Structure 1
Amino acid sequence: MFLRNEDFRSFIRYYPIISILIGIHILLFIMVNLFGTYSIFNLGVGSNRAIEAGQYWRLITPIFLHAGFAHVLFNSFSLYLFGPALEQMLGKVKFLIGYFGAGIIANIATFYLQDSTFSHVGASGAIFGLFGIYFYMAFYRKELIDQANSQLILMILGIGLVMTFISPNINVLGHLFGFLAGAALAPILLIGAKPYINRGMIRVRRAADTSGDIRFKPNRWQKRRIRSGSGAGSKIIWGIFIVLVALGFIVRYF
């Protein structure tokens, strides 16, 4: 579910919304930091004082902007890992409603609960909204997610919450309300949802099945069960865990 094996073109074809969002993150970061177009950043930052003055677009635009390379890397990588399954399961429209709905609710909560001098950027509230949808799924729509992926989501959510409270310059309220918003929207968004199908894996298996002369292998199912068992799942979980922890420390100390 969270193991990405698509090539670049396949990923864009299968998950166009995720691809566009990540592309916008990177494009805006390059424009601001390499080409010096700070006016874009200044016009989009979530400044509570500016929102009070009627600049309500700032409840949306911070979702696309990031404060530094580690920040945009962490959020884009998280979106790359955890966004595709939901884009396929929910469909493009519902995914956008969940993603931006959670992000906007997080920014509204930030506006009302923080003082007027507070400002922020980042897609973290929207991404925590995705975690909120998965969290709801793990407890109330178990037919949509297996136990290994449920455990992975709970582990990553725990890491995210810990990093939220120990890292400096983090919009804590944005993270928390983004998560709560995602969980609150999940019952509606998951109506009609179907379990995730890894199209990249199907493509790999089809290629493997047609590449040789021998089509039938008596022990193929036994071997497949061994490869897809708890050992393989644990390696995937710990691999993602280590990568996200490393990125978290980069955000924390650099």
Structure 2
Amino acid sequence: MNWIVVKKFSLETDLSHISGYLAQCKIAHRIYEEAGEQIIATDDPRMVGAIARLLQELERGTLILQCNELDDAETAHIDDKQSPTFRQQLKAVPVTVILILCSIVGYLLIVFDSQHLLVRYLSYQDAYQSNIPSFQEIFNAGQPWRLITPTFLHFSFMHIFFNVLGSWDLGGRLELLLGKINYLLFFIVSAILSNLAQFLWHPNIFFGGISGVVYAFIGFIMISHKIAPHRLTALHPGELAFALFWLILCVTGVLDSFIGGGVANAAHLGGLFVGCAYAWITVKPAPAKV
């Protein structure tokens, strides 16, 4: 289903009466948020002009909507009808989908490229050789992608599974909130700095995973919601508590023996700090209600 954007509104605009009216008129539509705006869209090209004229008259004050109250059964039916399908959800967050696919490809490379013929070009270090390039050598060699690509390398099924879950939930929220370009920029900054933190902490250890970025998402959501509360950053307190508990548990080293390796704690802590700082710098306080 292809949704056609009709008009964009600020987040403060109450569109519930418009949505209710369109639903009563059996006009298929969708209201969603992207890049800090509310968007009204329809999947019927024939209705674009009609909805646009309706919105224009509402803005001019020449039309007042009178919505009949809907019973619970009708409301539930409309909500179900307008709930986005999985395919629509995928189309709404294409950057997140691409990043998850890159992570899956990175996991498959680790599994099937046992000789590191390709992996050696994606790690921060050259895993195939004994030498480990320094931060400056990476640039001198013309290989700046190494600053980001370790993010996509995953070493076990559980490693990729939980990171994909975090990327889909938290990353999807932030892509809708920030918009595709700003979200991608945030990802790049988070990936580079969390990888750099891990490299500086343990330069001789082969590492990878998108969890450093996931913790950047967590840090951003925590601070952003305090500065400018929004439904997309309104996580259940238990989710944040579990994420922070898991971070502390990993730092203790208790899990190392269970996963057959070490945890990139510096990447997690670095990502969390980067996310908090990024939100503190970029998020504007919500306007005061009068």
Bin for the TM-score computed over the shorter chain: 0.5 to 0.7
Q: Which amino acid aligns with 1:155?
A: A
Structure 1 residues 55 and 145: CA distance shift in structure 2, 3 A: same
Provide the residue aligned with 2:162 in structure 1. Answer: 74
Provide the residue aligned with 1:131 in structure 2. Answer: 218
Using the alignment, how far apart are the partners of 2:98 and 2:118 within structure 1?
18
1:105-159 superposed Cα distances (whole Å, 9 cap, x missing partner): 1122223333x42221111111110001011023322x21489625144223223
TM-score (structure 2 length as normaliser): 0.57
**Is 1:102 aligned to residue 195 of structure 2?**
no
**Is 1:182 aligned to residue 260 of structure 2?**
no
Using the alignment, how far apart are the partners of 1:147 and 1:189 within structure 2?
15
Provide the residue aligned with 1:16 in structure 2. Answer: 94
Q: Which amino acid aligns with 1:27?
A: V
Structure with the higher fraction of residues in strand conformation: 2
Higher relative CO (CA 8 A, sep ≥ 6), structure 1 or 2? Answer: 1
Provide the residue aligned with 1:154 in structure 2. Answer: 240
| Alpha carbons 2:219, 2:274 under 8 Å: kept | yes
1:46-71 superposed Cα distances (whole Å, 9 cap, x missing partner): 32922357125322110111112111
Structure 1 residues 111 and 191: CA distance shift in structure 2, 3 A: same
| Alpha carbons 1:94, 1:189 under 8 Å: kept | no
Using the alignment, how far apart are the partners of 1:60 and 1:66 within structure 2?
13
1:50 to 124, 133, 152: 133
Using the alignment, how far apart are the partners of 2:120 and 2:225 within structure 1?
39
| Alpha carbons 1:66, 1:121 under 8 Å: kept | yes
Give the CA deviation at 1:34.
3.9
Structure 1 residues 51 and 11: CA distance shift in structure 2, 3 A: farther
Q: Which structure has the greater CA radius of gyration?
A: 2
Q: Which runs of 5+ in 1 are unaligned?
A: 194-254
Provide the residue aligned with 1:27 in structure 2. Answer: 105
Using the alignment, how far apart are the partners of 1:188 and 1:157 within structure 2?
23
1:187-225 superposed Cα distances (whole Å, 9 cap, x missing partner): 3443499xxxxxxxxxxxxxxxxxxxxxxxxxxxxxxxx
Using the alignment, how far apart are the partners of 2:94 and 2:200 within structure 1?
34
| Alpha carbons 1:132, 1:183 under 8 Å: kept | yes
1:3-29 superposed Cα distances (whole Å, 9 cap, x missing partner): xx7533112211101111111111232
Provide the residue aligned with 2:206 in structure 1. Answer: 119
Question: Aligned residue pairs: how many?
Answer: 188
Structure 1 residues 112 and 26: CA distance shift in structure 2, 3 A: closer
Q: Which runs of 5+ in 2 are unaligned?
A: 1-82, 127-131, 257-261
Structure with the higher fraction of residues in helix conformation: 1
SS at match of 1:67: coil
Using the alignment, how far apart are the partners of 1:32 and 1:171 within structure 2?
17
Q: Which amino acid aligns with 2:159?
A: H
Using the alignment, how far apart are the partners of 2:112 and 2:239 within structure 1?
35
Structure 1 residues 47 and 130: CA distance shift in structure 2, 3 A: same
| Alpha carbons 2:197, 2:266 under 8 Å: kept | yes
Using the alignment, how far apart are the partners of 2:91 and 2:264 within structure 1?
33
SS at match of 1:111: helix
Using the alignment, how far apart are the partners of 2:168 and 2:223 within structure 1?
20
Q: Which amino acid aligns with 2:153?
A: L
Using the alignment, how far apart are the partners of 1:37 and 1:8 within structure 2?
37
**Is 1:38 aligned to residue 116 of structure 2?**
yes
Structure 1 residues 183 and 65: CA distance shift in structure 2, 3 A: same
RMSD between superposed Cα atoms in Å:
2.8
1:79-107 superposed Cα distances (whole Å, 9 cap, x missing partner): 11211111000011111122221121112
Identity %: 24
